[in-house]
Structure 1
Amino acid sequence: MTSSQGRSAAVPASPGRPPSGTPRVTDRNELPDRVWTVPNALSALRLLGVPLFLWLLLGPQADGWAVVVLMVSGVTDWADGKLARVLGQSSRLGALLDPAADRLYIVSTLVAFVLRDVVPLWLVAVLVGRELVLAVMLLVLRRHGYPPLQVHYLGKAATFILLYAFPLLLLADGGGAWVAVVAPVAWALTVWGSALYVLAGVLYVVQVLGLVRAERAAPLPTAARPAP
């Protein structure tokens, strides 16, 4: 097994740095160690909304309030990243909380929708399968001494689309004159968001495999080569 210490011995560079000729991987540990920031507060608020959303959807089935929670989550998902850049408040904690909140909302929403028969099971299987594949890729990165890769803009766009598609799916699942208008829009956003979400996962896998291949192809420095 290749550990981060083993990588450092084979490559004359700091731990977490890819071999020569490959893009540098941004290490989240290089970000400031901040906790009390506005973006972190928004990410924490989003996380607290996950159990509230599930309870509203599966308990009293208060779909209107569940839609409000999802809409607030979508707005804060955009706002925390924007404020982190504008205010210069990027942090290690924020780099962990933001994608964690995204994944929790998407997975919990899909599970709840299956229990309510809002979306088909195959759609949930595809998106949850994507998360499982990415979890394996994180293990591969750790084994080779790399930090998790930064979230791709395509993944953020897909998450944003899905977080707005889900409330519309709830509205389309109910009754009312608006269903004929809302349902096509909801399913269009769901299909596009899901496709982009899977594509972002494929790009992540390609990046990880590219790093691993580049590391294996990199020649060992003279000091690390066995004596003749």
Structure 2
Amino acid sequence: MAGKRVRRVEGADEVEAEAPSSDVGTPAAPEPARPAPARPAPQPRAAVAETTPAKPSLRAELFTIPNLLSAIRILLVPVFLWLVLVPERDVLAIGVLVVSGITDYLDGKIARATGRTTRLGAILDPVADRLYILAVVVGLGLREVIPWWLAVILPLRDVVLFSLVPFLRTRGFSALPVHFLGKAATAGLLYAFPLLLLGDGEGSVANLARVFGWAFTIWGVALYWWAGILYAVQVRRLLASTPRAR
């Protein structure tokens, strides 16, 4: 074992270590411990938590092809009324109705094919349908192409259904989904109106258009009110089975 040598230096003991002995049995001095690698600091919970994707804004939803088509249909409603009532340009008015029917078919088809169904689209499409039906019955009623009782019973159904919306809101619903029967009724009426307008003239073509126009009108009105009754029954069941929303 290596010894120690002590000497006095100005009243204090100074310890001077001798050089280590070369004895084989002497253990080597332990190496200093290496510091452990630093671990990365844990991230805050808010930083690593999964975030819920934000819903697109109404402005972003508007600039999709299906919703732009619905918006164009709505913008063409006053154009149709002006063509029917002021210059009585029936051919151009029929063209507007045809464009409306085509875009009505395309907006739903494109939305389903591309998966771009939106909240705004669910509002714009039925609104455009109702506006066209209202505009056509008013225009054709003023032109005396259709009787006024027909111009009254079609919008009356929508007034009745609209009056049920406040009751739906008490159960947390904003509106009912569009029923297939309602879409069929709207399609029938959109076929009927151009034919009725075309049948307002003279000749064999006008006579044939008048016959088919009234056939589509009768079926369209019947389906329109049948769909309205189904909507009313659905509202009644929801009110009976769903508690009030808080």
Match of 1:178, SS state, is helix
Structure 1 or 2: larger helix share?
1
Fraction of identical pairs, as percent: 52
Residue 32 of structure 1 deviates from its aligned partner by: 5.7
Higher RCO (CA < 8 A, seq sep 6+) = 1
1:20 paired residue number: none
- Compute the displacement of 1:131 (Å): 0.8
**Counterpart position of 1:190:** 217
- 1:69 and 1:180 map into 2 onto residues whose CA distance is 22
8 Å contact 1:102–1:159 — kept in the other structure?
A: yes
Matching of residue 106 in structure 1 with residue 133 in structure 2: yes
1:90 equivalent in alignment to 2:117: yes
Counterpart selection for 1:202 from 219, 222, 229: 229
Q: Which amino acid aligns with 1:48?
A: L
Give the equivalent residue in structure 1 for 2:92. 65
Q: Measure how far apart 1:108 and its partner are.
A: 1.0
1:211 is aligned to 238
CA contact 1:32–1:90 (8 Å) conserved in 2: no
**Local SS of the residue matching 1:173:** coil
Q: RMSD over aligned Cα, in angstroms?
A: 1.7
How far residue 164 of structure 1 moved from its aligned partner, in angstroms, is 1.2
Aligned to 1:117: 144
1:138 lines up with 2:165 in the alignment: yes
Partner of 1:74: 101
TM-score, normalising length: structure 2: 0.73
Match of 2:183 in 1: 156
Per-residue deviation, residues 102-146 of structure 1 (Å, max 9, x unmatched): 000001110111100011111122111101101111121113321
Are 2:77 and 1:43 aligned?
no
Shift of 1:160: 0.9
Distance, in Å, in 2 between the alignment partners of 1:178 and 1:193 is: 22
Q: Residue 23 of structure 2 aligns with which residue?
A: none
Question: Equivalent residue of 1:154, what SS?
Answer: helix
Spell out, residue by residue over 1:199-223, the C-alpha distance to the aligned partner (whole angstroms, 9 max, x if none): 111111000001001136x9xxxxx
Aligned ranges 1:165-184 → 2 under 5 Å: 165-184=192-211
Query: Does the aligned pair in 2 maintain the 1:154–1:196 contact within 8 Å?
Result: yes
Could you list the per-position Cα deviations for residues 53-88 of structure 1 after superposition, in whole angstroms to 9, with x for gaps in the alignment? 000000100000000000110111111001000011
Q: Determine which structure has more spread, i.e. the larger CA radius of gyration.
A: 2
Structure holding more strand per residue: 2
Output the CA distance in 2 between the equivalents of 1:100 and 1:213: 28
Q: Structure 1, residues 172-227: CA drift from partner, whole Å, max 9, x if none?
A: 111222122111111000000111111111111000001001136x9xxxxxxxxx
Q: Which moved more, 1:135-144 or 1:64-73?
A: 135-144
Q: Report if aligned partners of 1:130, 1:201 keep a CA contact under 8 Å in 2.
A: yes
The answer for the alignment partner of 1:16 in structure 2 is none
Whether the aligned pair in 2 keeps the contact of 1:35 and 1:91 (CA below 8 Å) is no
